[in-house]
Amino acid sequence: MENILVTGGAGFIGSNFIRFLLSEKKGVRLCNLDILTYAGNLENLKEVQEDERYRFFYGDINDQALVRQILNEFKIDTIVHFAAETHVDRSILGPADFIQTNVFGTYHLLEEARRFWIDEGFNREKKVRFHHISTDEVFGSLPPDDEPFNETTPYAPRSPYSASKAASDHLARSYFHTYGLPITITNCSNNYGPYQFPEKLIPLSILNAVQGEPLPVYGDGKQIRDWLYVEDHCRAIELVLEKGTVGETYLVGGNNQPTNLEIVESICKILDDLIPGSPFKPHSSLIRYVEDRPGHDRRYAMDTRKIQRDLGWQPTVSLEAGLSKTVKWYLENWDWVASVCSRPEFGLWVTRNYWQRGGKR
């Protein structure tokens, strides 16, 4: 792992991974390919922009000529593929972008890696790896008493987003079995932490609560998720790249199962403590229930014993500590929040997705 291509590195998890890897690995060179959609933000990478080991390329993973140029010029031996459309709600309203990026984009990356590493023989000079980042949502929805997802759980996606990610997982595995492309896959649970675009539950709840805006909660709020602090996810990816077995899949989760309502209530309690003079205290009074989204998965849970047993990874940041760190980060980086939320598209999206579902402002 010397010359790395990260796709989607200006997004939430990708930018955290780039900062993490450059701080951990002094001998790497890293190229970041990102088309800078609404969720991509170069402000996420300000602290590394002057690092001589880092290069940014504006472009689409579907642009095979550009991908080919980067692979050839920088002798890329490792691809870490984050680039994806990831928001379930957006996939319900407009699935086409999800198919284009998540399915066709992954296909084009796999093709270029196969051409450079296998057809042209670069893998005879260096050890290479294609690591694909996926999600627990490909497994569908768990009944209340079922065992957690594991690496052999059958796929049962229920939204256009999760279906597109399932397709990309299958493509990656097919390139391993058919062409011998050295791939690994991680399916992660819900990530949270610094620099997450505030359309997702945790940053949106922080943003709205601080400003006295309603906190939208789907349905009864009792949907269950496993929450993973983003830096723990970055450590897991690094371990899989260094020690993971080619062709294998590893599940990565935070080993917790709160309801969405409990997450929002926890954020409110943290803000009550951090901003005792807030006119909106108690912040839980801002919670508003809105119409549930179509096909909303009821429960996710992750069995992470394989990555713990084989690679020695386990989450180090508890949900309580991670939520506290995350809330403090957003409060201390309000300029970043204001910049992101000043985009007209963001306000239109929140109105369309939440308040048109019947929540009261």
pLDDT in tens, 21-49: 999 999 999 999 999 998 899 999 999 99
pLDDT in tens, 348-360: 777 777 766 655 4
C-alpha pair distances (Å), 193 with each of 337, 352, 356: 13, 25, 28
C-alpha pair distances (Å), 162 with each of 8, 156, 158, 231: 18, 9, 6, 23
CATH of domain 3-189+225-255+299-316: 3.40.50.720
pLDDT in tens, 103-157: 999 999 999 999 999 999 999 989 999 999 999 999 999 998 899 999 999 999 9
User: For residue 56, what pLDDT is reported?
Assistant: 98
pLDDT in tens, 300-319: 999 999 999 999 999 999 99
User: For residue 260, what pLDDT is reported?
Assistant: 97
CA proximity to 207, closest of 347, 9, 66, 42 = 347
* Rounded to 5°, angle at Cα 175 from 174 and 178: 75
The percent of residues above 90 in pLDDT, for the chain, comes to: 88
Domain ranges within the chain, ordered by starting residue: 3-189+225-255+299-316, 198-224+258-294+318-355
CATH of domain 198-224+258-294+318-355: 3.90.25.10
- Rounded Cα distance, 270 and 264, in Å: 10
Question: Where in the sequence numbering do the catalytic residues fall?
Answer: 136-137, 161
pLDDT in tens, 159-214: 999 999 999 999 999 999 999 999 999 999 999 999 999 989 999 999 999 999 99
